[in-house]
Amino acid sequence: MTRHYLDHASTSPARPEAIAAMVATLGRPGGDPGRIHAEGLEARVAVETARGQVAQFLGTRPRSVVFTSGATEAIATACWGAAGRSPHQVLAAVEHSAVRRAAEANGTVTVVPVDGEGRVGPEALLDAVTADTAVVHLQWGNHEVGTLQAVEEVAAGCRERGVLLHVDAAQAAGHLPIRFDDLGIDLLSVSAHKLGGPGGVGALLVRRGLRLRPLLLGGDQERARRAGLEPVAAIAGFGAAAAVLDETTLAAEAHTQRRLTDRIVAEVADLEGVRVYGSPTERLPHVVCLGIDGIEPQAVLLGLDRAGVAAHSGSACSSEALEPSPVLEAMGVDAHRSLRLSVGWSSTEADVDAALGALPGILAHLRSLSAS
């Protein structure tokens, strides 16, 4: 059976360029980038080449890029570092759990409500800032429903108030153009595996001149901002994936992804008991979240999987934690029953055909079982 992967918002398959860069790096002696022998210097060149590729991709200078083990560590570093300046942090109710939990572990937190589309009002977010606020957290685009936030407006407000702004761009990077230096953002976190790079590597972008206490202590790697031997092969793969995404390629991929998700939105409109969550217009190009009345998400996911389609539920109850989705709960919609379909760089019309072809029958079958 041909498989159709529609879970790119969770993780995206590695691009051929990233794989090639990693294989080439792993085939070399593998020196420590911090050493001055030939093997170490070769590794240093690989790391700094990738740093330049990631910096160019995200619109900043190489020295602003701090490599991490992924977006989760980048977020934790932002929260920990900001907490060293002041004890209070502000975030929207739809932020990823990595942001919410790291902020809560590092001081007091004000959580700002969102509307029914998952959008937080910039004024409401900024009104929560107090004299003790160290940082405001704002995701670029939501990981479950795709709703975009007003990053530029909040960035301007944070500058006026003298408070840091951290943007979680794990879902946006690779799908929307990002020019870090032009936006006035202080901190931005990204993950390589969301955009076709390898797992286990990401980056925290740090505004020029900003000093934060490091989360990981030990050696002086990453200019003493993140201790530990650099994963050279993974970093090289990250850089190669970023290098693919020049302005033209990024725009072309985003256009294709928007066309595919727009098609999903249009074709599910006639399905009984199915609705689309999130903003209909201000959303990431690659994510669609559907609310499905009366059917548990696990059954829908299993039905799709048997039809060869990999998808995910916006509700955490379909993964490790048997809890409703905090994002959907904050939006005031059914937090227990949803389906997230997300496309990416490798997605095709055939992938969407398979999902749309299978979904009506799966829902009808499950509803008939429920009725009986």
Scanning the chain, the segments in alpha helix (DSSP H) are: 16-26, 38-58, 71-83, 97-104, 122-127, 151-161, 180-183, 221-224, 232-244, 247-267, 297-306, 326-331, 349-371
Q: Is 289 tagged catalytic?
A: no
Residue 370: predicted pLDDT: 74
Q: Specify the pLDDT at position 10.
A: 97
pLDDT of 316: 52
Identify the CATH number of the domain in which residue 154 sits. Answer: 3.40.640.10
**H helices of 85-179, where?**
97-104, 122-127, 151-161
Q: What is the largest CA-CA distance in the chain?
A: 73
Which pLDDT does position 206 carry in this prediction?
98
Residues 225 and 284 reside in one and the same domain: no
Indicate if 210 and 296 belong to the same structural domain: no
Return the pLDDT at 29. 87
Q: Is 139 in the same domain as 282?
A: no
Q: Structure pTM?
A: 0.95
pLDDT at position 314, please? Answer: 72
Indicate whether 60 and 80 sit together in one domain.
yes
* pLDDT score at 200: 97
d(CA 125, CA 107): 18
Q: Are residues 240 and 351 located together in one domain of the fold? A: no
Q: Which of 244, 261, 281 is the last residue of a domain?
A: 244
Are 173 and 295 in the same domain?
no
Domain edge (last residue) among 244, 261, 278: 244
Could you tell me the two tokens for 170? 């794990």
Same domain, 61 and 200: yes
Counted domains in the chain: 2
Residues 98 and 155 in one domain: yes
What pLDDT does 318 receive?
A: 45
Task: Give the 3-state secondary structure percentages of the chain, helix then strand then coil, rounded to 5.
Answer: 45, 15, 40
Q: Is the domain of 100 the same as that of 186? A: yes
Q: Choose the catalytic residue: 79, 158, 289, 317.
A: 317
91 & 210 share domain? yes
One domain, residues 202 and 349: no
Is 238 in the same domain as 313? no
pLDDT by residue for the chain (372 residues), tens only, comes to: 899 999 999 999 999 999 999 999 999 988 999 999 999 999 999 999 999 999 999 999 999 999 999 999 999 999 999 999 999 999 999 999 999 999 999 999 999 999 999 999 999 999 999 999 999 999 999 999 999 999 999 999 999 999 999 999 999 999 999 999 999 999 999 999 999 999 999 999 999 999 999 999 999 999 999 999 999 999 999 999 999 999 999 999 999 999 999 999 999 999 999 999 999 999 999 999 999 999 999 999 999 999 999 999 976 544 455 578 999 999 999 999 999 999 999 999 999 999 999 999 999 999 988 776
- Domain with residue 319: its CATH number is 3.90.1150.10
- Residue ending a domain, choose from 244, 271, 301: 244
The phi-psi region of residue 174 (left if phi > 0; otherwise alpha if psi is between -120 and 50; otherwise beta) is left
Range of the domain at 360: 4-12+247-371
